[in-house]
Structure 1
Amino acid sequence: MMSESSCLCEQIAGPGAELHPKCFGHVWLFEGAPPEAWDTISADLARKKCAAEDVIFSQGEPAESMYLIKMGSVKIWKVDEEGRELTLDIRKAGDLLGESVLIEESDYPVYASALTPTLICGVDRSTFEKLVEAHPQVGLAVIRNLSKRIDYLTGKLGALSEPSIEERLYKVLVNVAEQVGTPESGGWSIAFPLTHEEIGFLVGAHRVSITRALKKLKDLGKVKSQGKYIFVARAAA
């Protein structure tokens, strides 16, 4: 069995790079399936380094591969009918991109672009289908875990049900901090990668309202500016 430490991603990332320890066989989507099944297709996985702002895949492009983020962070966004860019999510090392490839043949519904220097590891649909044919447990795990994921995402929608912009903003900031922030005593420190306008799309509010809400959160001690970083305090128990 190939150990995670011997992953080819380390060779591509270069010396000193901090890679997420999990490979495909150990992420949530395949929980319950034998991780060693992925060893049989390791040579067929596509590894790629991306610079900040590089587009990994585009909205409307045929969805052919799913990716695991091994290093860095990625912004998920789309362009609406009026040509506006809408930020939908931030993914971190250890997260997946393009999971819909496993379910149906379609186009990517969103853009994915690197926020920071990023390393991704990709598996295309045909390679994954060969894996499932050889190891049916992998396919069963996907069905089971996608069902669990739907329940999780339904819970995340609760942030948008908060009546005040301040509370919605705080929940979004906590969510982003949990994904890309550095844990500290009492909260998280994040080198915030989004503009007020992009935060507004995540919260469902205009940029001016976000600026005002952010000031109120600072007054309440829930958020603090620390140079290029933002400190997000944990909610009181």
Structure 2
Amino acid sequence: MADELVRRKLDAGEDLFHQGESADSIHLIKMGSVKLTKISADGRIITLDIRKAGALIGESALLEEGVYPVGATCLETTVTCGIDKKTFEGLVTNHSDIGLVVIRNLSRRIQQLSSRVGALSEPNLEDRLYEVLVNVALEVGARGAGGWTIAFPLTHEEISFLVGAHRVSVTRALSRLRDTGRVRMSGKQLFISDKVI
């Protein structure tokens, strides 16, 4: 399969693809992390998800519509391997184990998104914010003693879209989480401590 892949190295802030572009390739993130965004009808950029190394993005290339419904921007130096739709379908036809890997990957995404939806049902904003940050950390963070580190900057606005609350409210809730020791910021890193019972 390696011969069929197109390797790309992108810098932080560089776009892998844009919303509305022709969805002709599926990408495997080999290193780094990518933010998926959607431009709303009123022109706002909404952060929908963050994907890390090992994740597939651009799965919409497998659909009939033929355009990416979201944009993908690198949060740090990122290496991807892309494969066009026709070649990918041929590989899956000839090597069923590749199809199984994709199915498992998509099943994990569904499980992670279900967990995130569960976190959004938490009525208390502070607890909801903490649960969403834990879910993001589980997906893209590094586990260490006492918690997880997310090693790239998340703006308060991006966090507010992930939590489903206004940016000002998220800023206040984040401040309370810092006061209680559940999160800590150091430069461009965010540390989420194990939940205090």
Per the normalisation by structure 2, the TM-score is 0.90
C-alpha spacing 1:145/1:187, structure 2 compared with 1 (3 Å) = closer
> Gaps (5+ residues) in structure 2?
none
Tell whether 2:26 aligns with 1:66: yes
In the TM superposition, 1:40-189 aligns within 5 A as 41-139=1-99, 142=102, 146=106, 149-189=109-149
State the 4+ residue runs in structure 1 displaced beyond 3 angstroms: 136-152
CA distance in 2, matches of 1:105, 1:211: 38
After superposition, the CA RMSD in angstroms is: 2.1
Task: Say if 2:183 and 2:190, in contact at 8 Å, map to a contact too.
Answer: yes
C-alpha spacing 1:143/1:188, structure 2 compared with 1 (3 Å) = closer
**CA deviation string 1:124-177 (max 9, x = no partner):** 111012112222454466457645643542232111111011111111211222
CA distance in 2, matches of 1:77, 1:189: 22
Report the CA distance between 1:52 and its aligned residue: 1.1
C-alpha spacing 1:229/1:144, structure 2 compared with 1 (3 Å) = closer
CA distance in 2, matches of 1:143, 1:117: 27
By percentage of residues, which structure has more strand? 2
**Identity of aligned pairs, percent?**
57
In structure 2, what residue type is equivalent to 1:62?
A: S
Report the CA distance between 1:51 and its aligned residue: 1.1
Partner SS, residue 78 of structure 1: strand
Q: 1:194 aligns with which of 154, 163, 179?
A: 154
CA distance in 1, matches of 2:153, 2:114: 25
How many residue pairs get aligned? The number is 197
> Gaps (5+ residues) in structure 1?
1-40
In structure 1, what residue type is equivalent to 2:55?
A: D
**CA deviation string 1:8-40 (max 9, x = no partner):** xxxxxxxxxxxxxxxxxxxxxxxxxxxxxxxxx
Tell whether 2:173 aligns with 1:232: no
CA distance in 2, matches of 1:230, 1:136: 40
CA distance in 1, matches of 2:177, 2:187: 17
Per the normalisation by structure 1, the TM-score is 0.76
The structure with more radius of gyration: 1
In the TM superposition, 1:208-223 aligns within 5 A as 208-223=168-183
**CA deviation string 1:25-82 (max 9, x = no partner):** xxxxxxxxxxxxxxxx321211001111111011111111111111111111010000
Partner SS, residue 194 of structure 1: coil
